[in-house]
């Protein structure tokens, strides 16, 4: 669970779409709920924006269907 809190921000800020999808799924599999993952993504977006990067269009946890978890 803790490793996803480190890995997901690193992957999202690199705009790695496939890896982001895999790690969003992993977050749900290790028992984060969708609201927690959404909140984490908003925090990541805020930090990335402060660093001057644009991650517009990256996958969101809402893009991951339930059957993939």
- What is residue 64's predicted lDDT score, i.e. its pLDDT? 94
- What is residue 68's predicted lDDT score, i.e. its pLDDT? 64
pLDDT band at residue 67, thresholds of 50, 70 and 90? confident
Which class for 57: exposed (0-12), middle (13-18), buried (19 or more C-beta within 10 A)? exposed
Nearby residues of 25 by Cβ (< 8 Å), 6 or more positions away: 64, 68, 69
Domain layout of the chain by residue ranges: 2-68
Return the sign of the alpha-carbon dihedral for residues 57, 65, 68, 7: positive
- What is residue 20's predicted lDDT score, i.e. its pLDDT? 96
């Amino acid at each position: 669970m803790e490793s996803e809190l480190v890995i997901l921000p690193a992957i999202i800020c690199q705009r790695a779409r496939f890896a982001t999808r895999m790690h969003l799924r992993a977050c749900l599999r290790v028992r984060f709920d969708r609201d927690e993952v959404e909140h984490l993504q908003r925090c990541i977006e805020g930090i990335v924006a402060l660093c001057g990067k644009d991650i517009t269009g990256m996958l969101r946890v809402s893009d991951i269907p339930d059957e993939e978890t």
